Structure 1
Amino acid sequence: MKILQISHGYNAPFLGVSNHYARMLASKGEVTTLYLSGDEDEAVRQQTEGGQVLFWQQDAKRLKGAKIGLISKLYKLIRDEQFDLVVCHRYKAIYMSAICQLLGLKFKQIGVIHGFGDFKRVARRAFLSLFKQRLLLLGVSNSVRDDIRHSMPAFPADKVQTLYNAIDVAEVESKQLDKKPARAFLGLDDEKFIIANVGRLHPDKDQATLIKAFARFNKQVANSQLVILGSGRLEQTLKTLASELAVQDKVIFLGQVADAVNYYKAFDLFALSSNKEPFGLVLLEAMVAKVPVVASDCGGASEVVADVGYLFEFADVPALSKAMFDAYSDDSQVLIERAYAKLHEQYSITATSQVMAERLLNNN
C-alpha cells in the first residue's frame, strides 16, 4: 500500500503527530509526508519518519479558500504516485483530497480532526455529506469525536471514530533529565514543591484560574512555587494578577522553553487548567515523567486523567486549589503507576497502531 499523509505544517505538535502516524502505518506501507506550509527545512526532513518528505511552502495564513492551483498540484501527485490511502490532518487537507476524489481519483481517505468546532460551518457540513461512504473521520479524543457527530448528525456514526494521539514512551523517557539536573537547567530551587503548567498564555488555557488557585494553595503550603512554561499575549495580564494576589515571587514565568518535555521530572505536580483541550499531550508527557496530574474536567483532558489523576470543575478556583492540596497530601504512587500503565495501554505507538490496523483501516 502506498500512503500519503498531508499536514498543514510541521510546527508543534504536528511534526510529532506526523511521525506517530508514520509509525502507526509503517506495517501497511511506506508513508510519504507532505507539509503544506513552512519553508523547506533539511532538519525537519531528517526528523520526519517514513519515506519521502515534501514541502509545498504555502503561507499558512493564505491556505483558506478553494486554492484551485494547489488542488491541481495535489491531484497530479496522488495520480502520478498512485497512493492507495491519504491521511489528512485538519480540514484543509481533507477538503483538497476530497476534491481529488470528486475529480475521479480512487483512494481511501482518513481525515484527522485535532480540535473542536471544525464543522460549525454549514458549507463544510454540506460538502462532506457527499463523502459519507468514502471518508473516515478520526477525532483525537472521544470529546472531539462526539463534537463531530453532534455537528454532523447525518454523517454515519461508524464513519466518525476516535484515535488518540500517541506518545513514544521509551523515546520520551530516554530524553528526560532526572529531577535534580532538570531543576538546575530551569533554575528551580531543589527544596520547593513545584507545580507546573506548560502551554500558550491564552484565554483557552485559563492560567488565571490556575494562579488564583495557587494563591490559595500557597497559604497552606508556603514552600510551593508555580512555574509556567510558555508565551503569549496574556503574559503581562497574568503577571499583574500574580502581583495583585501577592504571589509574584512564587509564580515563575519561564517563557518558551525548547524541548520542555525533557525537564518534566523537575516538577512535583502538573496542572492543566484549559477549558478547550481537545486532547492534552502535555498530560501524557507528565505521566511519562511519573509526575501526578491535575486537569479540568472537560474535553480530551478529562479522558486522559480519568482514574489516574485529579479532576476539577473548569474555572472553579476552590476546586482546583483542593485538587492541588489533595495531590500534595496523598501518597500519589498508586495513581502514578496507574497512569504509567494507562500510557502503554491506550496512548503508546503499539496501542494506537493496533487500533488503526484492526478497527479502522479494515473498516474504511
Structure 2
Amino acid sequence: MRILLTITSLGVGGAERLLTALADQYAADDHEVMLVRFHGEAELRPSDPRVRLENLNMRRSPPGVLAALGRFRRLVRAFQPDVVNSHLVHANLLTRLLRMVTPMPRLVSSAHNTNEEGRLRMVAYRLTDRLADISTNVSDEAVEAFEAQWALRPGRMIAIHNGIDTAAFAFDPAARVRVRAELGLDGYTPLLLAVGRLWEQKDYPNLLRAFAHLDPGAIPPQLAIVGEGPLRGELEALAQSLGMVDRVRFLGVRHDVPALMSACDVFVLPSAWEGFGLVVAEAMACERPVVATDCGGVREVVGEDGFLVPPRDNTALAAAMERVLRLSPEEREQLGSASRERVMARFSLDVMADRYLAVYQTAYKEPEGVK
C-alpha cells in the first residue's frame, strides 16, 4: 500500500513523535510511505531511510499557501497514494481543500486534541467535513468534544488511541544513573519530571505552584521540565518568585526523553486540557508512577494505575505528588509494573498502527439515521 502522511510541521511534540513512529512502522511492514510537512525544519524525523520525507516550505501568506498547495498537488499526483492521512488542524484543513482539485482514493483526517483553540477552526472543520472519508481523534472524550462543538456530524469521527514504541520507552537502570549524574543528583534525591511544550495547554504555572507546596523534607525534591515554548521566560520568573530557582530545572528540548523518564521518581502532567496525553503512556511504559490532571483522554490512559486530579487545582496536584513520594519502594515497583503492562496491552505502537491500517483499508459506511 502507498501511504501518504501529512502534518503541519515536525517539531518536538506528541503528534509529531507519533507520526514519525507510524511512518517507520509502515515502512518496516513493506508499505511505501511518504511523510509531508507543510513548513519548518524537521526536529523529529523517521529513522527508516525508506520513508520519503518532503517539506512544502509553506509561507504564511495567501500566495505562500497557494504555492505550497501546488507543490503538494504535484507530490500527490506523482506518488499516487492509496490513502492520505493528514494530522493536526492546518494539515487537515489544507489537505481537504486540496482534494477538491486532486484525486485521493481515500482521505483520513486525524485530530489530536479536544480543543483546537478557536471556534473558527471548528467551523472550518464542519464546512470541510465531507471532503474527508472519515476523521479520527485520540480518545473517546476527544471525539465527543468535536461532536459537541459541531465540528462534524455524529458518526463521522472514531477514536484511535495513540501508541508508543514500548521497546524505546522502557526503564533503563544505566540511563537513570547517567542522567542523574548529569543533573548533579544522587540516588536519593526525589526527582519529578514534566515533558511538554511551554504553552498555555500544559499549565506549568499549576505545576510550579503545586511543587512550591511540597514538604521539602530532609532531602528537598527537584523538578525538571523538558520542552521549549513562548512561556519559558514567564515560567522562569514564576519559579524565581516562588523561591525555587535552585530546585527547578528548565532543560529545553531534549532527545533522550526515555532516559530522563528512567531518571525520575514521579512523572507529572499538569495540563489544562489534552486530547490523549501521549507522554503519560510513555512514562507508564518506563514504569514511572504518574500524577496527571483528569482531562481529555488521560483517564483512558491511566486507568487505575496512576493518580488523577482535577485540572487547574494546584492544591490537589501537590497532595497527589506528596502521596506518590511517600510510597514504599515495593509499592512503586508494583505500580510501575502494572503501568507498563497496561501500556503494552492497550497503547503499543503495533496496536495503534493496526488500527490506523484498518481504517485505511475499510470502506466508510454512513451510520444509519445520519443525514
TM-score range, shorter chain: 0.7 to 0.9
Q: Which whole-Å CA distance do the structure 2 matches of 1:153 and 1:206 have between them?
A: 25
Aligned to 1:211, what secondary structure does the other structure show?
helix
Match of 1:170 in 2: 167
Match of 2:33 in 1: 31
Aligned to 1:192, what secondary structure does the other structure show?
coil
Q: Aligned-pair distance for 1:184? A: 0.8
Q: Which whole-Å CA distance do the structure 2 matches of 1:74 and 1:243 have between them?
A: 47
Match of 1:149 in 2: 147
Match of 1:20 in 2: 21
Q: Aligned-pair distance for 1:244? A: 4.2
Match of 1:270 in 2: 267
Match of 2:367 in 1: none
Q: Which whole-Å CA distance do the structure 2 matches of 1:322 and 1:338 have between them?
A: 22
The two structures have a TM-score, normalised by structure 2, of 0.84
Q: Aligned-pair distance for 1:294? A: 0.3
Runs of 4+ that moved beyond 6 A? 43-46, 63-66
Judging changes above 3 Å, is the alpha-carbon distance between structure 1 residues 227 and 100 closer, same or farther for their aligned structure 2 residues? closer
Residue 322 of structure 2, aligned match among 301, 312, 325: 325
Asked if the contact 2:106/2:360 (under 8 Å) is kept, the reply is no
Q: Which whole-Å CA distance do the structure 1 matches of 2:270 and 2:208 have between them?
A: 10
- How is 1:310-321 mapped onto 2 (pairs within 5 angstroms)? 310-321=307-318
Judge which range, 345-354 or 194-203, deviates more: 194-203
Asked if the contact 1:22/1:49 (under 8 Å) is kept, the reply is no
Q: Aligned-pair distance for 1:64? A: 6.9
Judging changes above 3 Å, is the alpha-carbon distance between structure 1 residues 116 and 326 closer, same or farther for their aligned structure 2 residues? same
Aligned to 1:327, what secondary structure does the other structure show?
helix
Q: Aligned-pair distance for 1:167? A: 1.0
Aligned to 2:155, what secondary structure does the other structure show?
helix
Aligned to 2:169, what secondary structure does the other structure show?
helix
The C-alpha deviation readout for 1:74-118, integer Å capped at 9, x for no partner, is 333323332221111123333333334333624100111123433
The C-alpha deviation readout for 1:269-303, integer Å capped at 9, x for no partner, is 11111102222222222222211110011123333
The C-alpha deviation readout for 1:115-151, integer Å capped at 9, x for no partner, is 34338326514432433xx421111222322222222
Match of 2:2 in 1: 2
Q: Which whole-Å CA distance do the structure 2 matches of 1:192 and 1:70 have between them?
A: 51
Coordinate RMSD, CA, aligned: 3.0
Q: Which whole-Å CA distance do the structure 2 matches of 1:96 and 1:18 have between them?
A: 18
Asked if the contact 1:5/1:33 (under 8 Å) is kept, the reply is yes
Q: Which whole-Å CA distance do the structure 2 matches of 1:209 and 1:102 have between them?
A: 44
The two structures have a TM-score, normalised by structure 1, of 0.85
Asked if the contact 1:19/1:48 (under 8 Å) is kept, the reply is no
Aligned length: 357
- How is 1:203-282 mapped onto 2 (pairs within 5 angstroms)? 203-219=200-216, 222-282=219-279
Match of 2:93 in 1: 95
Judging changes above 3 Å, is the alpha-carbon distance between structure 1 residues 105 and 229 closer, same or farther for their aligned structure 2 residues? closer
Match of 1:349 in 2: 349
2:352 counterpart letter in structure 1: T
Q: Whose helix proportion is higher, 1 or 2?
A: 1
Q: Which whole-Å CA distance do the structure 2 matches of 1:99 and 1:176 have between them?
A: 49
Match of 2:298 in 1: 301
Q: Aligned-pair distance for 1:304? A: 1.9
The C-alpha deviation readout for 1:141-191, integer Å capped at 9, x for no partner, is 223222222223652x33301122221111233988432212012232332
Match of 2:184 in 1: 187
Judging changes above 3 Å, is the alpha-carbon distance between structure 1 residues 105 and 232 closer, same or farther for their aligned structure 2 residues? closer
Q: Aligned-pair distance for 1:205? A: 1.9
1:159 counterpart letter in structure 2: R
Q: Which whole-Å CA distance do the structure 1 matches of 2:127 and 2:72 have between them?
A: 19
What are the ranges of 5 or more consecutive residues in structure 2 without an aligned counterpart? 365-371
